[in-house]
Amino acid sequence: MTLGLNPEQQQLAEAVAQFAARHAPIEKTRATFDALGAGDLPQWWDEFVVNGFHAVHLPESVGGQGGTLMDCAAVLEAAATALLPGPLLPTVIAGAVGSLAPDSPAAGGLLSRLAEGAPAAVVPPGDALHAVPTPGGWSVSGTADPALGACSARVLVVAARAGERTLWFALDPSRPGAGVEALDGTDKTVDVGVLRLDDYVCEQDSVLAEIDDERARCLAVALTASATSGIIRWCVDAVTAHLRTREQFGRPIGTFQALQHRAATLLVDSELATSAAWDAVRATSENLVQSRIAAAGAALIAVSPAPELVLDALTMFGAIGFTWEHDLHLYWRKATSLAASIGPAERFARSLGELTRTESRDVSVKLGDLDAEFRRMVAAVLDEAGTLHNDGPGRQGDHPNLATGPQRTRIAEAGLIAPHWPPPWGLGATQLQQLIIDEEFAKRPDLVRPSLGIAEWILPTLISAAPEHLKQRLIPPTQRGELVWCQLFSEPGAGSDLASLTCRATRVDGGWRINGHKIWTSSAHNADFGALLARTDPGVAKHRGIGYFIVDMRSAGIDVQPIRWVNGEAHFNEVFLTDVFVPDEMLMGEPTDGWSLAIATMAQERVAISGYVNSDRAGILRRLAIDGGPDGDRVLTELGRVDAYANAIKVLAVREVIRLLDGQAAGPASSIAKVAMNVLLRRISEATLQLTAPAAMVETTAEGRLPVVEQYFHLPAELIGGGTKEIQLNIIAQMILGLPRS
C-alpha cells in the first residue's frame, strides 16, 4: 500500500508520477547532476509550481492548495519513487515548520514566498548557530551542519541558540553576512550546502515565533520518512520485476526460494516503513508525546534502515546493481543521505524507550459519533455484563478470557464475542461497528473480552457449511465456553503441507471410517470436538481429494498422547485415529471440499495470530526500563527499537481497517503481520535474555517459574503456529508479489 489511502491522495500521487515521467525521466536527471549539486533548479521547477505540488499542504490564504500534511506526504512518496530531482523535500519541510508559527508575520511572508515557488531549506536546532540581541533584532553567527537544499534555497528557515532558548528565523541567504558553500553530496539529485553566518542581521519581523523544537523535529522526520517510503517501495517493484525476468540455469531466478524469501522480506519491511511514515505524519496533529513516539518510530523503521534495505535489493540484482549505469545506486545514495540527515538512529531509539516506559502509542481510529445507535446498544449490553460475574474456569486454561459464567453468556447471547459473524451467531457487524465494539470494551478495562480460543478459527466453517441443526447444537455452547475444540490438520509427514496428508477417510454405511495419525494438536487432551482433514479420494490431485470433518473427540478409536514442551508442559498432542466412525452429517460440504474450507480456516488463524501484538510483548524490558540500573541506557535503546517495530505492525493493521471502511478489498496485511510478528518476538526475546542475564540460568524458584525463561520457552508455539515464517514468505512471494513457482 502507498501512503495515501483515499482515492484523492492516490490520484495526487499518480499525477506526480506522470509529471516526473514527462519532465524528469532518470536518464535526463543523470545529465544534470553537476548543475543540481551547484544549486541550480531543475528546468521544470516553474511548471511543477504551477501544478501546486510543492504547496499542497500550505493554506489557501497564502496561495497554497489547502490540503493536509498527509496529502503532501503522498506527493513526497511519489516524487521519491520517481527519483524526482531538486529541493522538493527541504522546501516542503520548511513550509511545514513555518506553519507551526501561524500568527507570526514572518511566517506569513515565508509561506507566501514558498507558495509562489521559492525553494527553501531548514537548518535545525543545534549548537552551531548563536543569536545575540541587537537594537531592533538579532545578530546570528556560526557555521551550521550540512543541509539538503541549502545551495538552491532562496529562503532559509534557521534555528539558532539565544542563551537557553532556541529562536527560529526566516533568512535570505543572498544578504550580507550569509554564505552557503556547496558540498559534493552523496545524493546526486539534490544539493547539499553548509550555511555560514557572520553577524547576519535579522530584523524582528524575520523571527518565526512560537515554534516548538520538538514539533519541528517530528515534522522533519515524518516528511523524510515519507520520501524513504517511496524509495523502498521502488526497490520492491524493481526487485520483483528483475526476479521475474532474469534467468539462470534455464529458469527465472524468481523461482529460487532463497530469493523469493528475500524479496518477500523486503516487501514486509516496505509495508512497515510505509505504516510508520504514515503514522508519523498523522501524529503531527496530535499531542506532542504521541507525535514524538510516532516520529521516533518512523526514524527507526522507515528512515534509518532505508540504506540497508536498498543494499539488500542491490545484492539481489547481482553485479549489475553495483554499476553506475544501473539506477539502483541513485536510490541507494538518496536513502543514505536522508538517513544521515535526521541524525543517529541510536538517539531515536533511546528517546523512544524513555517515552514508552510509561506511555504507549494510541493508534486507534477516531470514530466520533458514527453509528451512535449501534454504540448505545453495545454500551448497554456491556454495562449489564459488567454487573455479572463468571464463576467457572475456562476449559482450555485458567485464563480470564476463557472463563465461563453469566457474564460471558450475556456477551455471547448479544453476538459480541464474534460480532462479524452473521446472525444469530454474531451481528453481521461492519468494519465500523467492529471498531465501535473494540472502543466500548476498551472503555471498560475491568470487563475482560471473552475468547473462543481455537474455535475462533473453526466455527466460521461450521457457519458456512454445516447443516442448521448441527450449528444449533455446537455453536452456542462453544460461544458460552462450554465446548472446547482442536484442529486436526498437521501430520508427521505433512506438517504445513496439507496437500500431502495421508489420513484416510473411507465411506461406510451412514458415514466415514477415519484412520490416520495427527500431530501438534493443541488442546486435543481436553477437546470435545475437532476439525479434521482426511483424504477421501486418493485417485485425484492431492489437494482435490480432501474432506473436512467434525470429529467427536470421545469417539471410539481416538487415542490422544500428550507431547511435552521444552518447559515440561503439554499443551499439544499426538492423536491416533483407528477406525473412528464419523457420521455423514459431520462432513462439511462435499467430500472433496476440504482444501478450500481448510484454507479459509487457516486464514482465520493467521488473522488471530497477527493480532497478538495488541498485548504488550515487551513487558519485561519495560519493567527493566522503569527500574533503571547500570544498563539503563541500553535497556531504553532496546525497548525503543522493539516498540517502534511493534507500533508499525499495529499501524499496518489500522491502515488495513481504514481501507476496508472505505470499501476497498482486503489486502495482504495478515500474512505480512504474521511475518513481522515472528521477527518482533525474536527481537524481544533476544534483547530480554541479554539484558536480564544471568536470570535465565534459573528456571524455577520457590516462588514459581521465572518470567524470563517461561516467556522464552513458550516462544516456539507462537513462531510456528499458523504456519512458519518461511511458509508465510512463500505465500507473500508467490501470491502477493507474483513470483513464479519452482
Model confidence pLDDT, tens digit, residues 446-481:
999 999 988 988 999 999 999 999 999 999 999 999
| Contact present, 207 and 167 (Cβ < 8 Å) | yes
The more confidently predicted of residues 516 and 630 is 516
Q: Which residue type occupies 180?
A: V
244, HSE (Cβ side, Cα atoms, 13 Å) = 11
| Contact present, 186 and 333 (Cβ < 8 Å) | yes
Q: What distance in Å separates the CA atoms of residue 158 and residue 121, rounded to the nearest whole number?
A: 8
Max CA separation in the chain (angstroms): 104
Count of CB atoms within 10 A of residue 307's CB?
A: 22
Q: Is 350 in a helix, a strand, or coil?
A: helix
Task: Please give the grid coordinates belonging to residue 205.
Answer: 519581523
Q: What is the pLDDT of residue 148?
A: 98
Q: What distance in Å separates the CA atoms of residue 242 and residue 237, rounded to the nearest whole number?
A: 9
Q: What distance in Å separates the CA atoms of residue 462 and residue 549, rounded to the nearest whole number?
A: 10
Q: What is the pLDDT of residue 612?
A: 45
Q: Which residues contact 88 (CB under 8 A, 6 or more apart)?
A: 48, 53, 54, 75, 76, 79
| Contact present, 620 and 708 (Cβ < 8 Å) | yes
What's the per-residue H, E or C state across 228-267? HHHHHHHHHHHHHHHHHHCEECCEEHHHCHHHHHHHHHHH
Q: Give the least confident one: 171-180, 347-356, 568-577.
A: 568-577
Q: What distance in Å separates the CA atoms of residue 395 and residue 608, rounded to the nearest whole number?
A: 20
Task: Please give the grid coordinates belonging to residue 339.
Answer: 538517513
Q: What is the pLDDT of residue 601?
A: 62
Q: Which residues contact 202 (CB under 8 A, 6 or more apart)?
A: 131, 137, 138, 139, 140, 169, 171
| Contact present, 328 and 309 (Cβ < 8 Å) | no
Q: What is the pLDDT of residue 605?
A: 43
**Where are the alpha helices (H) located in 357-447, listed in sequence order?**
372-386, 406-413, 431-442
Model confidence pLDDT, tens digit, residues 595-648:
888 876 655 544 443 454 567 889 999 999 998 878 899 999 999 999 999 999
**CA angle at residue 81 from 80 to 83, to 5 degrees?**
55
Mean pLDDT to the nearest integer, 269-287: 97
Whether 397 has a pLDDT exceeding 80, the answer reads: no
Q: How far is CA 351 from CA 188, 214, 341, 687, in A?
A: 32, 12, 17, 17
Mean pLDDT to the nearest integer, 644-653: 94
Percentage of residues in the chain with pLDDT exceeding 90? Answer: 73
Q: What distance in Å separates the CA atoms of residue 90 and residue 124, rounded to the nearest whole number?
A: 11
Mean pLDDT to the nearest integer, 206-228: 94
Mean pLDDT to the nearest integer, 560-566: 90
Q: What distance in Å separates the CA atoms of residue 654 and residue 726, rounded to the nearest whole number?
A: 25
Q: What is the pLDDT of residue 704?
A: 65
Q: Is 738 exposed, middle or buried (0-12, 13-18, 19+ CB in 10 A)?
A: exposed
Q: Give the least confident one: 4-13, 154-163, 352-361, 540-549.
A: 540-549
Phi first, then psi: give them for residue 527, nearest 5 degrees.
-80, 145
Mean pLDDT to the nearest integer, 27-40: 97
Place of cell 521559492: 118
- The pTM is what? 0.90
Task: Please give the grid coordinates belonging to residue 178.
Answer: 550569509
DSSP H or E run through 170: strand 165-171
Q: What is the pLDDT of residue 431?
A: 81
Model confidence pLDDT, tens digit, residues 126-153:
889 999 999 989 999 999 999 999 999 9
Q: What distance in Å separates the CA atoms of residue 441 and residue 401, rounded to the nearest whole number?
A: 13
| Average pLDDT of the residues of the chain | 92
Q: How confident is the model at residue 442 (pLDDT cuts 50, 70, 90)?
A: confident
Q: Which residues contact 470 (CB under 8 A, 6 or more apart)?
A: 462, 550, 585, 586
Q: Is 353 in a helix, a strand, or coil?
A: helix
Q: Give the least confident one: 434-448, 449-463, 524-538, 708-722.
A: 708-722
The residue count for the chain: 742
Task: Please give the grid coordinates belonging to residue 51.
Answer: 501544478
Whether 235 has a pLDDT exceeding 60, the answer reads: yes
Q: What distance in Å separates the CA atoms of residue 654 and residue 651, rounded to the nearest whole number?
A: 5
Q: What is the pLDDT of residue 613?
A: 55
* Of 192, 105, 196, residue with least CA distance to 158: 196
Q: How confident is the model at residue 715 (pLDDT cuts 50, 70, 90)?
A: confident
Which of 250-264, 587-601, 617-631: highest mean pLDDT?
Answer: 250-264
User: What is the per-residue DSSP string for 557-622?
Assistant: TEEEEEE--TTS---EEEEEEEEEEEEGGGEESSTT-HHHHHHHHHHHHHHHHHGGGGS-TTHHHH
Q: How far is CA 546 from CA 156, 215, 501, 591, 599, in A?
A: 69, 59, 9, 7, 12
Q: What distance in Å separates the CA atoms of residue 71 and residue 664, rounded to the nearest whole number?
A: 19
